[in-house]
Amino acid sequence: MPILKYALLGLLFPITVLGGELRQVRVEKDLPYLGADRKEKLDLYTPADPQPSERFPGVVIIHGGGWVGGDKGARREQNIGTTLAAHGYVCISINYVLATEGHPTWPKNLQECKRAVQPLRKNADELHVDPRYVGVIGGSAGGHLATMVGLTGPDAGLDPT
């Protein structure tokens, strides 16, 4: 039952770390993460004015919407990003390719979610992220994709190229 153990820890973790003084939050919208030619972008939520030596956990927020709808800028995703950043997290809320009639997107949507982790690690110094602590969260379809990001390794053949 190791998966259940970690799932329960994931539910308890935010409760134990979201205490303390709230910080001001900086938000940057519509930043490219899949290439400048792609319409899917990310929104960045960071604690404002970090100290030079401060490092924060990173979180990728994946929206729900049945794999055919939803948006990184929805009220729920903005609330999650702002709340976590105010408590000392660096968050990116992403859009990913959505399926349309006759055009399924699996596994491309998962690969794009996996690629979203890379900017947090690649730009860790600039963003004040501790690359050892990067998580992924989402609701509904976003929860499915977040789970798949966490549970599929290179041997599954689902990593982006």
Judged against a pLDDT cut of 80, whether residue 20 lies above it is answered with: no
* Complete DSSP assignment for 107-134: THHHHHHHHHHHHHHHTHHHHTEEEEEE
* Mean pLDDT calculated for residue range 98-110: 96
pTM, two decimal places: 0.87
Average pLDDT, the chain: 89
- Determine the 3-state secondary structure of 95 from DSSP: coil
**Percent of residues, the chain, with pLDDT higher than 90:** 86
Burial class (CB in 10 A: 0-12, 13-18, 19+), 49: exposed
One-letter-per-residue 3-state SS of 80-93: HHHHHHHCCCEEEE
Judged against a pLDDT cut of 90, whether residue 14 lies above it is answered with: no
Q: For the segment 44-68, what is each residue's pLDDT rounded down to a tens digit?
A: 999 999 999 999 999 999 999 999 9
pLDDT of residue 8: 35
Q: What is the DSSP letter of 33?
A: S
Structure confidence at residue 18 as a pLDDT band (50, 70, 90): low
* Mean pLDDT calculated for residue range 65-90: 97
- On whether the CB atoms of residues 59 and 91 are closer than 8 A, the answer is yes
Burial class (CB in 10 A: 0-12, 13-18, 19+), 72: buried
pLDDT of residue 19: 56
